[in-house]
Structure 1
Amino acid sequence: MANLFLYISIFLIWTMLFYHAFLMLGGYFHSLKYKDFKKRFNIPLEEYPKVSILIPAHNEEIVIEDTIQSMIRLDYPKDKLEVLIINDNSSDQTGTIIDRYAKEYSYIHAVHTKPPHAGKGKSGALNQGFQHSTGEMIVVYDADNTPEPAAIRNLALGLLKDKEAGAMVGKFRVVNANKNLLTRLINIETLTFQWLAQAGRWFWFRMATIPGTNFAIRRSILDELGGWDEKALSEDTELSIRVYNLGYYIRFFPEAVTWEQEPENIRVWWRQRTRWARGNIYVILKYLFQIHKLKNKKIVIDIAYFLFTYFLFFGGAMISHLIFAVNFVHDLKLSIGLVSYALLIIGFLLFVTEVCLALSMEKKQLTTKNFFIVLLMYFTYSQLWILLVIQAVFLEAKRVLLKQEVKWYKTQRFKQPEQKRNSV
């Protein structure tokens, strides 16, 4: 029986490894040609679309001023731009800071949420901000984001020139990547996700997932969909599926760049990533049994990927770990023997190769230090994800069974010193 379970776990793990290798190859091809899309952007200023930027902010006094300053620096006609900063029931100085800038700049507007719609999470704040917006393109940034000046122009003009795209997704970089070992690991993770899952899926399937920040979406789509799902902890993933179901695709265009802050200690990371995992599990449960009702069957690719990631792949990894742990203290008479160890070593080398390929697509990221961090990453950071998913599955099952209300956890921010960013 142990042999059977081990074979199953190896099959599940290697299925994911091969799929990721396939995606990374697509990501590499996309990195070579994505800039060709920008050649279509020769558009007169008078034809630029009006853009509404929504920035939900709950107790963000540490970071909100830097974010507003980055909005002021945007290279986009200010008469076709409105920045709506949603002060969502903050108890600190967030609202005061927003009001101060709103008085000075005509295109910056403060939206203060009020009960019973206040403090219910990001989706609720976005829906409140959307009601006050007037742009034909809606762009979302988190309160810790500082987009580069050309980001909005790349997102808005990208949507303008690609009529089949319902949303345009940019790239995000980690502003505090060099803070400590954890932020370095997160930086490597985010770059790998974007060039593997985002760029790879776009190249092969014309698919990408709307992230929580640095994306543009057509107003007409949000009107038709009724805005964001306020029950979803991963409102971005959930919105992506509904956009696809309308018949649009979501384009990954890494020319639009923003910089964001990541957790600087394991406690904040754990809570943030648990929310993400729970949100994705919610999406799986919401749409898994509605696949036959979905108009765009391509969505099955994403639902299957989430299902495989959060249940089958992690299940296989857990079984493999358990069998090898038990085999150290009790001989399970595994027939696969040395072959299993060879597969583990090859799998590890494949993991390292995929991550290093992702780092090679960014300037100054494939360094000796990062290479050794990638080696460490497999045995530490990646293994933490297994424990995290176990907790997320438990919490989400508990919420469903006990019919608990969804509670939003806002990621803690950290004051950042002035620092030079790496060029992208």
Structure 2
Amino acid sequence: MIEIFLLWFIFCFLSFGVLALRFILMKKNAAKPWRLKVDENYMPKVSILIPTYNESETIGFKLQNINKIDYPRELVQVIVVDSNSTDGTLDIVKNFIKNHPEANIKVLVENQRKGKSAALNFALKHCDTEVIIVSDADCFLPSEILRRSLPFLADPRVGAISGPKVLLNSKQSWATKSEDVYLNLMNLIKLGESKNGSTLLFEGGFSAYKKEVLEAFDPYNTGSDDCGTLISLAEKGYRAILLPEAKFYSFFPMNW
């Protein structure tokens, strides 16, 4: 019995040591300068894909948010791809389009709900822009996010960029505080990975991909990190990086 306890103790101690060492290394990497060819004049045409399924509570605010992004309107196409919502999401989108024709929003509706990746791949077939941006309906972007982050895609080695999630209700409860601590730790690790090469974890709130290197979104991805797509980019020799300049905002759901 004592031997088993000692083995478990040694295992836990070594595991904690490995994690602590990784965190220290990533923190050190995160402090390093970028070694990228950043072009502040790089302003590609972009498609912003917003996948929706029963997002009636947030989609109106989301479209208002996207419509206020500081970027030339002639360079932005917004595509809402809906997976047969049943809560009036499409009605809200169509009403917004009617009242804001300048927003250049296209609506696509899947025949049946097949998941987020399938919806994005469906929308991807309708994109002819240089950059594909994915942003979930419950996340909100600073108006300057494209001008601050897209110049990093000018580097020929960079295939995709994302940003850290910032919780707007981080002080609301012990659950939101815990989630905030977790996000801060993960963002530091992902930044360290990015400075060293690539990260394989993106959040769904904001991610941007060069269309020339993006064949499709990983059909087996069922979560929000999309690591399968990033692994595919890495296998082709492209970097996927997290940028502090690309932060976005969201709420931690309190009904979990």
Aligned to 1:108: 104
Quick check: which one's strand share is greater? 2
Among 186, 199, 207, the residue aligned to 2:179:
186
Task: Sort the Cα spacing of 1:15 and 1:164 in 2 relative to 1 into closer, same or farther, 3 A.
Answer: farther
Partner SS, residue 244 of structure 2 = strand
Aligned to 2:161: 168
**Separation in 2, partners of 1:258, 1:73:** 14
**Separation in 2, partners of 1:15, 1:200:** 22
* TM-score, length-scaled by structure 1: 0.55
Aligned to 1:213: 205
RMSD between aligned residues: 2.4
Whether the aligned pair in 2 keeps the contact of 1:51 and 1:156 (CA below 8 Å) is: no
**Aligned 1:201-350 pairs, distance under 5 A:** 201-223=193-215, 227-234=216-223, 236-265=226-255, 268=256
How big is the shift at 1:55?
0.8
Quick check: which one's helix share is greater? 1
**Separation in 1, partners of 2:246, 2:165:** 8
**Separation in 2, partners of 1:205, 1:153:** 23
* Structure 2: runs of 5 or more not aligned: none
How big is the shift at 1:217?
0.9
**Separation in 1, partners of 2:6, 2:208:** 44
**Separation in 1, partners of 2:55, 2:83:** 10
**Structure 1 moving runs of 4+ over 4 Å:** 36-39
Aligned to 1:75: 70
How big is the shift at 1:142?
0.8
Whether the aligned pair in 1 keeps the contact of 2:37 and 2:152 (CA below 8 Å) is: no
Equivalent pairs counted in the alignment come to: 254
Given the alignment of the two structures, is residue 61 of structure 1 paired with residue 56 of structure 2, yes or no?
A: yes
**Separation in 2, partners of 1:262, 1:84:** 25
Q: Give % identity.
A: 25
1:179-235 alpha-carbon deviations (Å, 9 max, x no partner) = 222112111111111112x12323445434233231111112222xxx123333236
Which of 1 and 2 has greater Rg? 1
**Separation in 2, partners of 1:165, 1:19:** 29
Task: Sort the Cα spacing of 1:100 and 1:37 in 2 relative to 1 into closer, same or farther, 3 A.
Answer: farther
Amino acid at match of 2:221: A
Partner SS, residue 163 of structure 1 = coil
More deviation in 5-14 or 100-109? 5-14
Whether the aligned pair in 2 keeps the contact of 1:207 and 1:251 (CA below 8 Å) is: yes
Given the alignment of the two structures, is residue 98 of structure 1 paired with residue 110 of structure 2, yes or no?
A: no
How big is the shift at 1:30?
4.8
- Structure scoring higher RCO (CA < 8 A, sep ≥ 6) equals 2
**Separation in 1, partners of 2:110, 2:198:** 40
1:55-98 alpha-carbon deviations (Å, 9 max, x no partner) = 10101011111211211121211111111111221111211111
